[in-house]
């Protein structure tokens, strides 16, 4: 049981480049999330998917898009990366209460 | 605008001492208050959680105290150990039936326990 997996672990992009962060969970959870973590800001929700086929904006969605490919997978896309998107990105999935987090992707945009 | 305010930002405690982290909120629709623990290089993991119909919940050395009227809740770590050194986040959730299982997190507290 791998839980929540994320790829890649680290990524460096130049301003304007695009990339997709991948997330998968094997716990048969309906809900999945993307957060960003910045020093002194806690975890801020980017996008949320309550179930396969649905997605909703969170607190900081600008500059991001998501795809809920199936029940297991939820990807986050940066179409044109900006230095302000330098952060650590976490994917999570949940049952009714507890959210389970992946190990994170550390992204640097130069 | 932070819906859940957490303090302090950082905390240093001697081994065996009590660590106390506080959180305050404004939204009375919050119905679930978890604490997450995060070690360096890892994702956060649920530590302990409470609902607003109880004033205290204890699990081992970790206790949540909840004051509904003051809209405050706190995490107490008794007999703090060096292995407790981590970042701690409080969080809150609004009505899951209307808003889904979405959490709002505090800014985090970096705890260091000195041996």
pLDDT tens digits, A39-88: 888 999 999 999 998 999 999 999 999 999 899 999 999 999 999 999 99
A56 contacts in chain B (CB < 8 Å): 100
Mean of pLDDT values over B23-51: 95
Which residues in chain B are closer than 8 Å to A98, comparing Cβ atoms?
34, 46, 49
- Read off the pLDDT of residues A85-110 as tens digits, 9 standing for 90 and up: 999 999 999 987 899 999 999 999 99
Q: Are A92 and A33 in contact (CB under 8 A)?
A: yes
pLDDT at position B1, please?
Answer: 52
Phi and psi of B84, rounded to 5°? Answer: -85, -10
pLDDT digits (tens, 9 = 90+) for B43-68: 999 999 999 999 999 999 999 999 99
Among B104, B114, B89, residue whose Cα is nearest residue B37: B89
Q: What is the mean pLDDT of residues B28-38?
A: 94
The alpha helices in A1-110, defined as continuous H runs, are none
Residue of B nearest to A104 (CA): B43
Average pLDDT, chain A: 95
According to the model, what pLDDT value does residue B95 have?
66
pLDDT at B94: 80
Strand B56-59 versus strand A99-101 pairing type: unpaired
């Amino acid at each position: 049981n791998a839980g929540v997996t994320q790829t890649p672990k680290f990524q460096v992009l130049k301003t304007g480049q695009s990339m997709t962060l991948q997330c998968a969970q094997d716990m048969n959870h309906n809900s999945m999330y993307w957060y960003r973590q910045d020093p002194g800001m806690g975890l801020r929700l980017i996008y949320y998917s309550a179930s396969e086929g649905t997605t909703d904006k969170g607190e900081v969605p600008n500059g991001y898009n998501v795809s809920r490919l199936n029940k297991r997978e939820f990807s986050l896309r940066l179409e044109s990366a900006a230095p302000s998107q330098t952060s650590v990105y976490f994917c999570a999935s949940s049952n009714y209460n507890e959210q389970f987090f992946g190990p994170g992707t550390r992204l640097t945009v130069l | 605008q932070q819906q859940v305010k957490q303090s302090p930002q950082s905390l240093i405690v001697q081994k065996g001492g009590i660590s106390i982290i506080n959180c305050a909120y404004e939204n009375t629709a919050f119905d679930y208050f978890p604490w997450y623990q995060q070690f360096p290089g890892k994702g956060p993991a649920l530590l302990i959680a409470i609902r607003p119909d109880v004033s205290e919940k204890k699990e081992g050395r970790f206790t949540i105290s909840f004051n509904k009227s003051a809209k405050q809740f706190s995490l107490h770590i008794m007999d703090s150990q060096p292995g407790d050194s981590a970042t701690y986040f409080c969080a809150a959730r609004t009505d899951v039936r209307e808003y889904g299982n979405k959490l709002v997190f505090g800014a985090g507290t970096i705890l260091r326990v000195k041996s």
